[in-house]
Structure formats: C-alpha cells, structure tokens
Amino acid sequence: MWGFMLFLTEHAMAQDGTIYPLKAPAEPNAIKLGTGGVKNQPAPESWFRQWGDPMARNITTATLTPFLPEPGKANGAAVIVAPGGGFMWLSMGNEGWEVAEALAKQGVAAFVLKYRLNPTPASLDDFKAMMNRGFTPPAKSSDSTKESSRVRPMRFDLSNQLEDAEAAYALIVKRAREWGVDTNRIGMIGFSAGAGLTLHAALNSKTMKLAFIGSIYGPMGTVTVPKNAPSLFNVIATDDFLFGGNFGVIESWYKAGIPVEFHLYQNGGHGFGLGNPDRTSNRWFDAFIHWLDVNKFIATQPAK
C-alpha cells in the first residue's frame, strides 16, 4: 500500500515529462534477493519522478516486494511483476506497485521485482542529458505522454536480470505455503523492458517453471520457443514504436503449439501501465484476468 500511496502523491505533484529528483522511498516489505551487485557501477541507487511516476535507477541490489491478497481471498495463483525502463531505470509505480495491487485485489499474490540495472550517470543532470541524446521522438503518436519519455530499447546482456528473476521465483517457491501460492501456477508479467526480461526468462531459464507469462508492450521479434514454454498473453498498441507491424513473437508461440493470446489495440502508445483514459488499450487488464480465469490459472480455492 505504501507504494501506491506514494505513486498517487507523486502523480498529483507532476503531470509533465520533466524529470524531477525524488527522495528514495522507504521499502519496508522489500526482500533482498542476494544476487550480488553490478560491475563498473560507481553511482548509488537513486530515484526520480516523471509523468508523476516514481522511478529508480542504478539499482545494484535486487529486491522482491510481496503484495498479498486479503485473508480468504487468495486463489493460489502468483505473478512476478517486472517493471520496464530500458534496463536503465524502473517505472516502479506505473508498471510495478499499481499492477501488483490490482492483481492482489483479484486474489493473485503479486511480487514486484526490482531487478539490477545497467549503470547511468550519478548526476541527475547528466542522466537527463544522456536521455536527451539517446531518444528520437516518433513522427506521430496518439498519446503524447508516457511513451515520449521512453528510450528505444537496446540489446543488453541480461545475465544479472535473469539471475534476479530466478532468485525471485526460487524465493516464492520456498515460501509458497506461507504466502498461499500454488507452485504450479506461478507466472510472470513484464512491461516494455520488463516484458523483454519476462520473455527471456521464459525462453532461457533452466530453473523457472513458469505456468504463464504476460508481455505488455514488449519486444515483438521472432524467437525460438521450446516445447515446455509457458502460455503467453501479449498486449501492444498499433501506435507503439515497438510494434511496427511485427507479429514475430506471436507467430513463434503459435507455430510452437503453445497457447497464445494476442491483443493488438488501436491506440495506447507505449508505457500505459494499467491504462490511460480514452484509449482502446485501457481495459487490457480485465482481459488478462479473464484469460487467467478461463485457462484455470486462477482457482477457486487457495493452495494448501
């Protein structure tokens, strides 16, 4: 709850794309995953806000924050939530805490993964300058807000991030009884770069046995899908710069014979989190919950 309240406060204070400094919030429920640090990282973790959203960068200590359903409401399903930010920052409110709280309200145990990031300048001014150099605005978009602050994704070594995701999964399995989790119904959902991490984990991890994954405005390129890959729920808007008419990841899942659900929305841009008003993508979360229900990932009884 602390995360959501912070988000609401910041959202009310800043509604433009300017980057503002932000004091690091207390994270009393965050559990350190013990996966090590980041090489060649001279700067400490720091926070900023943009579009009213609290964001963290220079993360060297990965954590997992549980958002558990109210007693008696848990249905046994669990989801690791991976925020996005080009592997240079994490959109903790819009793509982390808000999503986790929405899942918990549906009886799903949610866990926000604050994974390690690639180094950015220690100075916020230098970070702003780096962002300005690295971003070329799209020619036209129906949403001039959040997606305009994004940097076009680059290819990164995801070894650290995968290790963090695997440690998060292992911790949930270890404490499954305590948290009311059915270990056969653990999934992962990611946004933008977090969706890239989610796909990477589903396709490459040797230790994670994910039942389902959600890729929300993530990479759309062709991938090699193993026979034991989890079911995929994919969301993207036509005016998202990551789309560009590419259906590769959908075709890859389909040709592998693995269940896949695809929602291509007329508009929404990039970075819409749970949704923006007056966009057709605004109700994707309802569709996700319905998909979980129909595929029996959400059970009527909690895990025993």
pLDDT at 279: 95
Q: Provide CB contacts within 8 A for 129, sequence distance 6+.
A: 121
pLDDT at 300: 58
Residue 275 maps to a domain: yes
Residues in the chain: 304
- φ/ψ of 207, rounded to 5, equals -120, -20
pTM: 0.88
Q: Provide CB contacts within 8 A for 81, sequence distance 6+.
A: 95, 96, 99, 100, 103, 110, 111, 112, 113, 188, 189, 190, 194
| Angstrom distance (rounded) from CA 259 to CA 53 | 34
DSSP secondary structure letters along 159-183 = HHHHHHHHHHHHHHHHTHHHHT--G
Q: What is the pLDDT along the chain (304 residues), one digit of tens a residue?
A: 333 333 333 333 335 689 999 999 999 999 999 999 999 998 999 999 998 999 999 999 999 999 999 989 999 999 999 999 999 999 999 999 999 999 999 999 999 999 999 999 999 999 999 988 865 443 333 333 343 334 344 467 999 999 999 999 999 999 999 999 999 999 999 999 999 999 999 999 999 999 999 999 999 999 999 999 999 999 999 999 999 999 999 999 999 999 999 999 999 999 999 998 899 999 999 999 999 999 999 975 545 5
| Angstrom distance (rounded) from CA 36 to CA 15 | 35
Residue 9 maps to a domain: no
CATH number of domain containing 205: 3.40.50.1820
Scanning 210-261, the segments in alpha helix (DSSP H) are 248-255
DSSP helix, strand, coil percent of the chain (3-state; round to 5) = 30, 20, 50
Residue 71 maps to a domain: yes
What domain count does the chain have? 1
- Amino acid symbol at 282: N
pLDDT at 148: 35
pLDDT at 1: 32
280-297: buried (b, 16+ CB within 10 Å) or exposed (e) per residue? Answer: bbbebbeebbebbeeeeb
Q: Are 165 and 80 in contact (CB under 8 A)?
A: yes
3-class secondary structure, 41: coil
Residue 105 maps to a domain: yes
Q: Nearest-CA neighbor of 79 among 99, 56, 108? A: 108
pLDDT at 94: 96
Residue 136 maps to a domain: no
Residue 18 maps to a domain: no
Residue 139 maps to a domain: no
Residue 14 maps to a domain: no
The range of the structural domain enclosing residue 221 comes to 29-44+59-121+151-294
3-class secondary structure, 255: helix
